[in-house]
Amino acid sequence: MPAESNLSEYCEWKKERKFIRNGEKVTERNWENRPVAGLPSGGPKKQPVPIRCAYCHGYVEVHVRQLKDKPGPPDHVEHIDIDDANHCKMGDTFTPPHQMSKNPVT
Ligand SMILES: [Zn+2]
């Protein structure tokens, strides 16, 4: 698990797996934890696959470091819903206890 200080550098994405089961093509989609690095900048519509907060399952937006050779925050996600930011341990304005999103990405 990531350290508490870099929670926002991880998210979940809906990974698609295609395989053959009993001679039939099957597509499975499962939520998997992954680093934010490598994802395109922007909200859900900019992403090739659905993403969500790994901790409250709320909607998030990807923020990519603009200047690769300058200091700055690493690639990370931020909640879109202020309610998630206030109640999720990954949020900037988090007040305990941690709660799951009321409007989760499923
Ligand atoms: Zn969250």
pLDDT recorded at residue 80: 97
How many angstroms does the Cα of residue 70 sit away from the middle of ligand 1? 28
Residues with CB under 5 Å of ion ligand 1 are 53, 55-56, 58, 84, 88, 90
Pairing of strands 10-21, 51-52: antiparallel
Each of the 106 residues of the chain gets a pLDDT tens digit; together they read: 455 568 999 999 999 899 999 999 999 999 999 999 999 999 999 999 999 999 999 999 999 987 767 777 889 999 999 999 999 999 989 999 999 999 999 9
Distances from the Cα of 5 to the Cα of 31, 44, 64, 82, angstroms = 23, 24, 18, 20
How many angstroms does the Cα of residue 56 sit away from the middle of ligand 1? 4
Domain ranges of the chain: 4-87
> What single-letter DSSP state applies at residue 93?
T
Residue type present at position 22: N
Rounded-to-integer distance, Cα 26 and Cα 72, Å: 42
pLDDT recorded at residue 68: 67
| DSSP secondary structure string for all residues of 32-47 | EEEESTTSPSBSGGGS
Rounded-to-integer distance, Cα 93 and Cα 89, Å: 9
Classified as helix, coil or strand, 7 is helix
Rounded-to-integer distance, Cα 64 and Cα 76, Å: 7
pLDDT recorded at residue 37: 94
